[in-house]
Amino acid sequence: MEATFDLIVVGGGASGFMAAITAAEKRASSIAVLEETSKTLEKVRISGGGRCNVTNACWDPRELATNYPRGEKALLGAFSRFSTGDAIDWFEKRGLELKIEDDGRIFPKSNSSTEVIHCLHKASKASGIKCLTGVKVNTVKKLSNKIFQLECQNKQFFFAKRVLIATGGRPSGKKIANDLGHQLINTVPSLFTFKLNAKWLTSCSGISVDKVRLKLIANGKQFEQFGRILITHWGLSGPATLKLSAFAARDLSLDKYNSNLSINWVNKDFNEVKKLLESYRSSFPTYSIKKYYPFNDIFPRRLWFAFLEKLNIEKNLKWSNFSNLKRDLACKYLTKNQQLIIGKGPFGEEFVTAGGINLNEIDLKSMESLICKGLYFAGEVLNVDGVTGGFNFQHCWTSGWIAGRAISRSNN
């Protein structure tokens, strides 16, 4: 029989590396990371537009947990063990300089994800971890109480005392877990943009509006988000849209991505907007509505024109001729603009998957399976996903660290 590793990590992504390094640094042992593709940490490389949003300056574990549509309560304990501040310390101790941006997102000071990769590679090398690429694990069998056998695509076999599955959103890791007795929660995409059937709006692509209130009805449930949206040539993107897609991911999927969205463009109610429009009518009666409009600090003229055109209101109209009927139409459109979502944005906009290994089957203090002793999990393979802002990587660091520490403490 081949040499038996103390630990084999299946999947060379963020969570797998964090687990392997933690286990190795805390107790010298023989550890291998098996990666299917030719390169490890590929998602880290492309993340955050090549800058890698490593984590978030959200320091309170309770508040931090609210950023996870799946996993929220279960993560409370995990974040009390290894949170955002611990992740920052961890990376800085290993030479990666980080910076906090105004919105709380944390990036490498160099603005380059390769620095994160370099840091993880250096730490894994220093702790003697064997990293093998081009090795796809097909099946994992428990041969005895203490030994796992991993069969790879090229008919190569590996043996290990413990196995950690860190295969991300890919199906193969979930199949391995399923074969070992784990229940799977079906996966659906999360963090995507909305495709709308609204040419008048998509012609304004590139415009972003900061304080928009979005209300969505999906599968009979109501979801709400507030924040910045970006108009794209297919519909809506931006942080508020992505967050809404994450919290409504399952219900949108059940609705086949055909759901009703209501947009309040100005974060004001009907009567507030009515008063504002009336004040313009009385203050600027001889001015055209195209030149003076009450929302120029909220959105640019191009979007105002698009609203007017959609409402069949002549933009050269003087405020004195802005009838009550037009006023009410505009109020309704600005505060309750009804749109039909007709699908998800183009491929490539899906950042994470919702679903995966059921957390009820895992001891969250160690990330060890409650079904198969010696089997551990970390990262996106679990039924945990976060909104944008560095929260998904934070979950990888947290779950990877907890698993690595528990493995280093476990008896042979």
Ligand X SMILES: Cc1cc2nc3c(=O)[nH]c(=O)nc-3n(C[C@H](O)[C@H](O)[C@H](O)COP(=O)(O)OP(=O)(O)OC[C@H]3O[C@@H](n4cnc5c(N)ncnc54)[C@H](O)[C@@H]3O)c2cc1C
Enumerate binding residues for ligand X (CB under 6 A). 10-16, 34-37, 42-43, 46-48, 52-53, 136-137, 166-170, 172-173, 351-352, 379-380, 390-393, 396
Query: Taking the complex as a whole, how short is the minimal distance between the CB of residue 194 and ligand X, in angstroms?
Result: 18
Residue 227 burial (C-beta neighbours within 10 Å; 0-12, 13-18, 19+): middle
Which of 36/255 has CB closer to ligand X?
Answer: 36
Query: Taking the complex as a whole, how short is the minimal distance between the CB of residue 179 and ligand X, in angstroms?
Result: 12
Residue 208 burial (C-beta neighbours within 10 Å; 0-12, 13-18, 19+): middle
Query: Taking the complex as a whole, how short is the minimal distance between the CB of residue 167 and ligand X, in angstroms?
Result: 4
Helices (H), 66-105: 72-81, 84-93
Query: Taking the complex as a whole, how short is the minimal distance between the CB of residue 385 and ligand X, in angstroms?
Result: 7
Query: Taking the complex as a whole, how short is the minimal distance between the CB of residue 363 and ligand X, in angstroms?
Result: 19
Which of 48/355 has CB closer to ligand X?
Answer: 48
For residues 396 and 53, the answer to whether their CB atoms sit within 8 Å is: no
Which of 84/259 has CB closer to ligand X?
Answer: 84
Name 382's bridge partners.
Answer: 357
Angle between helices 113-126 and 14-26 (to 10 degrees): 30
Distance CA 389, CA 397 (A): 14
Which of 155/282 has CB closer to ligand X?
Answer: 155
For residues 35 and 14, the answer to whether their CB atoms sit within 8 Å is: no
Query: Taking the complex as a whole, how short is the minimal distance between the CB of residue 213 and ligand X, in angstroms?
Result: 25
Residue 150: phi and psi, rounded to 5, are -110, 125
Which of 36/251 has CB closer to ligand X?
Answer: 36
Query: Taking the complex as a whole, how short is the minimal distance between the CB of residue 52 and ligand X, in angstroms?
Result: 6
Which of 56/335 has CB closer to ligand X?
Answer: 56
Which of 21/352 has CB closer to ligand X?
Answer: 352
For residues 35 and 5, the answer to whether their CB atoms sit within 8 Å is: no
Identify each DSSP E strand in 274-394 by its residue range: 337-344, 352-357, 362-363, 368-369, 375-377
Query: Taking the complex as a whole, how short is the minimal distance between the CB of residue 260 and ligand X, in angstroms?
Result: 28
Nearest one of 403, 360, 350, 363 to 383, comparing CA atoms: 360
Which of 71/390 has CB closer to ligand X?
Answer: 390
Nearest one of 234, 229, 232, 195 to 209, comparing CA atoms: 229
Which of 191/308 has CB closer to ligand X?
Answer: 191
What would the two tokens of residue 66 be? 């609210």
Query: Taking the complex as a whole, how short is the minimal distance between the CB of residue 31 and ligand X, in angstroms?
Result: 15
Handedness of CA 16, 398, 242, 101 (dihedral sign): negative
Number of other residues whose CB lies within 10 A of the CB of residue 38: 8
For residues 375 and 362, the answer to whether their CB atoms sit within 8 Å is: no
Strands 157-165 and 208-218: unpaired
Which of 43/274 has CB closer to ligand X?
Answer: 43
Handedness of CA 322, 324, 329, 330 (dihedral sign): positive
Q: What angle do CA 367, 245, 258 make, to 5 degrees?
A: 130
Query: Taking the complex as a whole, how short is the minimal distance between the CB of residue 166 and ligand X, in angstroms?
Result: 5
